A and B are shown apart, each in its own frame.
Chain A
């Protein structure tokens, strides 16, 4: 063994010239990698922290919960991002070839178990905290007395149907669908419940009042997305999916289709008008007259 160690040392000295040339060659890329990773982390952290492209503030209590969960996740993953990228930059710079042999390490079981458990705790912890906002939108039913609006989507328009004074939606029959004759949803004229149904192309809801949408599609899969609600839901043909929220700010908000639905997908949008109680009554009265 001694002999070989001596041999090894000798060889290192013999090949010293070659090693030195390698050593000189590795300082520049190491430094460049370190600097570029620092610059990259700096720019990324700055842009995410300043929130220049943050969406407008949410208009529901659940939206605030979503934003809170987003901020929490941003902090946790941001810390991991900074540590990992700068750790990578540090490792390549510090451990560039400087003429000394590498340390012979096969691993460190304790360390590996520790960082496995730590990441599991952080990631799953975030998941557990995030369930609150999800259950508020999807597990809890809409509050009693919520305004029901049926949303029907087709290539490439939205229809919003209000049940009218009787509070009941009329029966739908796909065979009676006929947009040219003014019955785009196929409301059955023989069903008295459908006679006072209101069908409009934009959504109008009163402020501070729970709303329940019943989302359906007539042809392909579409979506209902309002970024200020921090909510979206696919409209799947053959299904009626409920979605509820309580908007607390008057305004006009974009409704977007986010599910690829054909060539007009990029133009498939509508508006949600959140209005005062009085204006909402006015809207219903006007719509009924037409």
Chain B
């Protein structure tokens, strides 16, 4: 490592008090872990909710624990569904990939001692935690949790409890919670963007940044633009509910036999536009960090440079940009102008191109490699498989003519779960197995990791593949049971199969939790660089010191994925080693 840029540098000392050190910390690593454990708690809640739903769908008359009278009522099912979607999308898929791993590793990977605004960082986390508490308490208020889904379309969500149970205080809590979450995300995204732009180590050109950093950077820019739109929409919605405004409420509604007096001029589609202007970028906010992690890990474990580094960085930016132009594909049958559907359709199909290029480049990275199948790599391979499967069903849904038959069916549920949920979760798992040694200084158990991978890989396909057939047959999502119409009964065997698969796959996650906490307590001591990797986080102790580099801030001499460079001393050439130490490594930015 090169000498410090500062002539006299005393590495800062961590605060000695427990509270300042581990709870109200401004250290990005502690905050990253706080986000991680928040996501772990949230994913547990979200998973339990989904299991209750799946159980009810398979056996609608079966006894359900935690539910009054033991039989789940339709509004209880819808409340579980709303909370499952909301908790998973916001508190897991947004929190873990960006809040947890981005916070922990972005500063280290660019050679910075911390985030640009450490106090703001702490504030983002604590606001997110408050938002989570607020969300959970919606279960406890009168009427229960909201039933309008994570999309909360008005007028269902805009008129109070007259439209249904849960639409009173429960829906208000939901809006307040997501509003706080938006605010926290805005603060966090400003922090990520400033850190990436301002705090890169000398020599860390944009084209030498790891693809994880590219992904987090693009994700942060998307968060900044998307959450602002959602926050505005939420403010309008809460005004409609409590101040008698009519942003989304048109004239002449008769709800439950009661004329809504004094409301006029609003338009429900305005909410849909604002919501999806946020909502579609949001799915890329969930998946882009997973793409970065997958590129990073596939290169590492194939012992090869990323195939087409420039294309990989470019496609991240292209997806980030196009992601803002295609929200209308959620609204093909909404009553929106049918001509605009064609533009949204073409733009949606266009985003398939950078997505496909990424897949080809992941295969290209493995091609000719020397692949090691450690657990992080297995999960990254799983990510690629799920991304392909889930992505391709998007080509159907992107066409308005096909959306005429597939919209709001289980086909959509299969599509977004495979591509946004399972693939993103596989990204989170592979990041966990990969960086656990760095974060906690201990190794995770490989055998348990592999068992976890195989059960989850097979299990997730068993849960979500049959949903395509349910959807094609006309099985409609958000139905609390399928006794309402005759033909839906034919689908019951598939629902039973999916439910059994869901319980089996959820049980397999206990292996992960056991492995995680067991390794935390008594895993083998981790070396600095267990995966023989090149990026800066592997140049420092495990776990890292408070300022990450113990005063020896790095210079960066080469690109992030210099594996198996001909003539180099090792099959990996770390970014921070001067040319003389790696001997023969090709210098400069990698070319596409």
Closest to B354 in A: A116
* Residues of chain B at the chain A interface (Cβ within 8 Å): 73-75, 78, 147-149, 151, 153-156, 163-165, 250-257, 259, 266-269, 302-305, 307-311, 333-335, 338-339, 341-342, 345-346, 349-350, 352-353, 356-357, 359-361, 363-364, 366-373, 378, 381, 384-385, 388-389, 392-393, 395-396, 398-402, 404-405, 407-409, 450, 454, 457-458, 461, 465, 468-470, 472-474, 476-487, 491, 494, 563-571, 583-584, 590-592
Interface string of A239-278 (1 = CB under 8 A from B): 1010000000000001011111111111111000000000
The smallest beta-carbon distance between A170 and chain B, in angstroms, is 16
Closest to B359 in A: A84
Interface string of A215-239 (1 = CB under 8 A from B): 0001111010101001111101111
Q: Complex Cα distance A264/B565, Å?
A: 63
Does A103 count as interface, using CB distance less than 8 angstroms? yes
Closest 4 CB pairs of A and B: A238-B250, A174-B252, A138-B338, A103-B368
Task: Name the B residues within 8 Å of A7 (CB-CB).
Answer: 569
Task: Name the B residues within 8 Å of A234 (CB-CB).
Answer: 333-335
Do B373 and A25 have beta carbons less than 8 Å apart? yes
The one of A54, A174, A257, A261 in contact with B259, judged by C-beta atoms closer than 8 angstroms, is A174
Does A208 count as interface, using CB distance less than 8 angstroms? no
The one of A53, A130, A220 in contact with B155, judged by C-beta atoms closer than 8 angstroms, is A220
Sample of 16 A–B contacts (CB below 8 Å): A4-B568, A70-B405, A80-B388, A92-B373, A92-B381, A95-B371, A96-B370, A102-B369, A107-B591, A109-B592, A134-B342, A155-B163, A174-B259, A237-B253, A260-B148, A263-B164
Do B567 and A1 have beta carbons less than 8 Å apart? yes
Q: Complex Cα distance A55/B468, Å?
A: 12
Known: A37-B385, A178-B257. Contact between A267 and B352, CB under 8 A?
no
Residue in A5, A88, A231, A264 whose Cβ sees the most chain B Cβ within 10 Å: A88
Does A69 count as interface, using CB distance less than 8 angstroms? yes
Q: How large is the interface on A (under 10, 10 to 19, 20 to 34, 35 or more residues)?
A: 35 or more
Which A residues from 1 to 43 make CB contacts under 8 A with B? Answer: 1, 4-5, 7-8, 11, 22, 25-26, 29-30, 32-33, 36-37, 40
Known: A81-B388, A95-B369. Contact between A33 and B165, CB under 8 A?
no
Number of cross-chain contacts by CB at 8 Å: 351
The smallest beta-carbon distance between B377 and chain A, in angstroms, is 9
Do A69 and B399 have beta carbons less than 8 Å apart? yes
Do A52 and B345 have beta carbons less than 8 Å apart? no
Do A218 and B254 have beta carbons less than 8 Å apart? yes
Do B400 and A134 have beta carbons less than 8 Å apart? yes
Knowing that A220-B255, A234-B333, A263-B480 touch, tell me 7 more A-B residue pairs with CB under 8 angstroms.
A4-B567, A29-B378, A66-B402, A88-B388, A138-B338, A174-B259, A258-B477
Do B373 and A96 have beta carbons less than 8 Å apart? yes
The one of B268, B353, B473, B479 in contact with A119, judged by C-beta atoms closer than 8 angstroms, is B353
